[in-house]
Structure 1
Amino acid sequence: MKAATWRGINEIGVEDVPEPTILNSHDLILEVNLSATCGSDLHLLGGYIPAMRSGDVLGHEFMGTVAEVGSGVTRHQVGDRVVVCSFISCGQCWYCDNQLWSLCDNGNPNPGITEALWGQSIGGCYGYSHALGGFAGSHAPYIRVPYADRGAFPIPDGVPDERALFASDAAPTGWTGAHQAEVKPGDVVAVWGAGGVGQMAARASMHMGAERVIVIDRFDNRLEQVRTHIGAETLDYEEVNVVAELRERSGGRGPDVCIEAVGMEAHSPGPQYIYDQVKQQMRLQTDRPTAVREAIYACRKGGTVFTLGVFAGLVDKFPLGAVMNKALTLRGAQQHGHRYIPEILDLMSRDEVRTEHLATHVMPLDQAPKGYEMFKNKEDGCVRAVFTTQN
């Protein structure tokens, strides 16, 4: 079968790969209907995530139709329409029992790499390097889904494919950020990044009762999506002093919660961007923390900063003094999607969460190289490229 693969830094190919098969009784084989690009995929393209190999199938945000089930699968049958959480979790370890699904002890069969990077291993993720398990990704006609009774969720009738697709990763990641940051009724929340995850973090914050939600970005089309489809306020960081403007909009204190939804390749208009970019390119640091720094400075004293964007390793010029002296709570997580996807699908079925607008460019799988180029360079207002994988 044809699949979109990582061929090297900034190189995507479409090539023949073996069709997946049932390896364990708890597996299912999914016929992929739709598979989306994600901002964290760009870190793979840039060579910032370790343990990628030429020919690895990309993609981790997807939905489709069950084509085959293992003998131990009890919750799904052939023909079911399901969305699959991007993180792979067993559902039986201590972390899964405590709803910390992305920290699963058993989802990643290659724990040594992340143990060396971070001290302990986390769960596995589809199409996201051998550091997170070496699982084949979703930019293919078929994909093997381990722990299928845990990670695949039936899509309610009436929820269109392009809406359900983003219940795989973007929406539950946003829900993870807002919930784990403990957004409360009456809070002022600032979100850095107006991509799919940032928009969903804003929507989740509003759902949890935030009084004001302000999303920060520089691309007009994404900020317009926030205003039109999410209903949050916006700031263009190239036109205003973000810290001062957030202070003005929050009674002079600063936001109660600051959610960073940009990640390790953050941009900024100032000279620190050049500094961070040069150090990253020279591998003197692995991540550009521009947005996290700004969130820390902007957050009110005693508030919470949540790093929702993907980071891989080490950063420079991190304002730890501000974290300590302002009494900030600093948290972060990969998505605990198994915890939030059922709620999100229910909200989608009642039209309280809509995500179709994120799929700005839908194209056949054989156009994946073009789709990724458009997505990376924000060409033609591309927010997400989505691949149809079936003829």
Structure 2
Amino acid sequence: MKALTWQGKRNLSIEEVPDPVIQEPTDAIIKVTSTAICGSDLHLYEVLGPYMHKGDILGHEPMGIVMEVGSAVKNLAPGDRVVIPFNIACGSCYMCSLGLQSQCETTQVRAKGSGAALFGYSELYGSVPGGQAEYLRVPHADYGPIKVGHDLDDQQYLYLSDILPTAWQAVAYAAVPDGGTLAVFGLGPVGQFCARIGRHLGHRVIGIDPVPERRAMAQRHGIETLDSHEHIGDELRELTDGRGPDAVVDAVGMEAHGSPVGGFAQFAAGLLPDALAQKAIETAGVDRLAALHASIDAVRRGGTISLSGVYGGMADPMPMLTLFDKQIQLRMGQCNVKHWIPELLPLVEQSGDPLGVHDLMTHEVPLEQGPEAYEMFQKKEDGCIKVVLKP
């Protein structure tokens, strides 16, 4: 089969690789019909390269048609149409019973001190082959896949794999009070959905992003938008009776613009041999923190900051005096996809498209154009906000 593979920093290629096969009774094989590039995939393209291996298959936002199931899979049959959550969970362990599927005790990558295994997301999360390929082996298919109908197009369902539940969890964790204001830093795909979900739930939403196309997309959904700048906290306070927003979602993460020191540290770590780079990241790694520090500055006293952007630094400087003095609550973590599906599936199937799932994809290209699509997405060229690959 053809698959999009990692070959080195900013170096991807389409390769012929062996077709996946059933390895465990709880496996399934799907033929991938759509698979998206996630903003967090760009971290593999750059910062997390030391955890990647040449030939690793990327991608964690796939959906498709079941081709084959293992003997223990009773909930699926060949021909079923499914969306595959990005985290791999068993559904029966203690963590899964709490709705914390991202911490599944069956698939935790204990060798790296990480939570549940993820598709296509480096040695840190199990080196599981990803979904930017023609076919995908799905472990724990007796629990994970989200079975959907055949009547609606892929775009209606695809984002249930990651970014839509990630955004839903981010807004839930933000705990915006009735009549309150939510600020969303970063209007990439997850930030777009955070803003729309906030509006859907009846909140005032202000989105902040330096890219005009992203602000324009958010405005189409009734979102107030601001360009990001050094004094964004002051501007947000001016718009919220001098207090700041009640809650902030940081949908940017570790590669925020405007963080020269963190950017240099990431670049320097990337120059080291992989073993040394891993050690540096795990003991002294520093993220680009401009968006997080702006969130801390902007949120009102007693407010909540919800982190959906991925962070990976182990030595990040944090303004603890401000966090404590302002009585700020922080919530964060990988999304527990299956936990939110009962709430989200009816919304994406609802007529009228209340969350705007049909107004996110800006580019749909063949899988073979994946390397070029990654470069375009990273450089934010051609108005690129969300790319869907078609194997």
User: TM-score per shorter chain, which class?
Assistant: over 0.9
1:183-207 Cα distance to aligned partner (Å, 9 max, x none): 3321210111101111111222233
Q: Specify the alignment match of 2:175 in structure 1.
A: 182
Q: Specify the alignment match of 2:231 in structure 1.
A: 241
Secondary structure of the residue aligned to 1:67 is strand
Alignment partners' CA distance in 1, 2:56 and 2:314: 25
Distance 1:87 1:225, change over 3 A: same
Secondary structure of the residue aligned to 1:125 is coil
Alignment partners' CA distance in 1, 2:76 and 2:316: 47
AA aligned to 2:376 is M
Alignment partners' CA distance in 1, 2:240 and 2:62: 38
Query: 1:49·1:312 contact (CA, 8 Å) conserved in 2?
Result: no
Alignment partners' CA distance in 1, 2:83 and 2:251: 23
Q: Specify the alignment match of 1:137 in structure 2.
A: 130
Q: Specify the alignment match of 1:369 in structure 2.
A: 371
Alignment of 1:30-179 (within 5 A): 30-48=30-48, 50-108=50-108, 110-113=109-112, 115=113, 121-179=114-172
Q: Specify the alignment match of 1:118 in structure 2.
A: none
What's the CA shift for 1:135? 0.7
Alignment pair present for 1:279 and 2:278: no
AA aligned to 2:198 is S
Secondary structure of the residue aligned to 1:206 is helix
AA aligned to 1:139 is Q
Alignment partners' CA distance in 2, 1:103 and 1:375: 29
Distance 1:146 1:136, change over 3 A: same
Alignment partners' CA distance in 1, 2:156 and 2:268: 40
Alignment partners' CA distance in 1, 2:20 and 2:211: 39
Q: Specify the alignment match of 2:275 in structure 1.
A: none
- Greater shift, 29-38 or 142-151, is seen at 142-151
AA aligned to 2:302 is G
Alignment partners' CA distance in 2, 1:49 and 1:324: 35
Query: 2:233·2:297 contact (CA, 8 Å) conserved in 1?
Result: yes
Alignment partners' CA distance in 2, 1:149 and 1:224: 41
- Greater shift, 282-291 or 218-227, is seen at 282-291
Query: 2:84·2:145 contact (CA, 8 Å) conserved in 1?
Result: yes
Alignment pair present for 1:4 and 2:4: yes
Query: 2:177·2:246 contact (CA, 8 Å) conserved in 1?
Result: no
What's the CA shift for 1:44? 0.4
1:228-259 Cα distance to aligned partner (Å, 9 max, x none): 1x322111114x83111211222221111111
Alignment pair present for 1:226 and 2:225: no
1:60-79 Cα distance to aligned partner (Å, 9 max, x none): 01111111111111222111
Alignment partners' CA distance in 1, 2:122 and 2:337: 19
1:131-171 Cα distance to aligned partner (Å, 9 max, x none): 10111001101001111132211224543201211111110
Alignment pair present for 1:252 and 2:242: yes
Query: 1:371·1:385 contact (CA, 8 Å) conserved in 2?
Result: yes
Distance 1:179 1:156, change over 3 A: farther
Alignment partners' CA distance in 2, 1:252 and 1:29: 55
What's the CA shift for 1:219? 0.8
Q: Specify the alignment match of 2:380 in structure 1.
A: 378
Alignment pair present for 1:355 and 2:348: no
Secondary structure of the residue aligned to 1:381 is coil
Secondary structure of the residue aligned to 2:143 is helix
Alignment partners' CA distance in 2, 1:296 and 1:23: 47
What's the CA shift for 1:49? 5.5
Query: 1:192·1:215 contact (CA, 8 Å) conserved in 2?
Result: yes
Distance 1:292 1:93, change over 3 A: same
Secondary structure of the residue aligned to 2:152 is coil
- Greater shift, 157-166 or 377-386, is seen at 157-166
Match of 2:208 among 212, 216, 219: 216
AA aligned to 1:226 is A
Q: Specify the alignment match of 1:294 in structure 2.
A: 294
Alignment partners' CA distance in 1, 2:292 and 2:57: 30
AA aligned to 2:263 is Q
Alignment partners' CA distance in 2, 1:355 and 1:220: 20
What's the CA shift for 1:313? 2.3
Secondary structure of the residue aligned to 1:57 is coil
Secondary structure of the residue aligned to 1:88 is coil
Instruction: Provide the aligned length of Structure 1 versus Structure 2.
Output: 375
Alignment partners' CA distance in 1, 2:348 and 2:301: 35
Which structure 2 residue ranges, 5 or more long, are not aligned? 270-283
TM norm structure 1:
0.92
Query: 1:163·1:355 contact (CA, 8 Å) conserved in 2?
Result: yes
- Greater shift, 47-56 or 191-200, is seen at 47-56
Alignment pair present for 1:309 and 2:309: yes
Query: 1:35·1:63 contact (CA, 8 Å) conserved in 2?
Result: yes
What's the CA shift for 1:260? 0.4
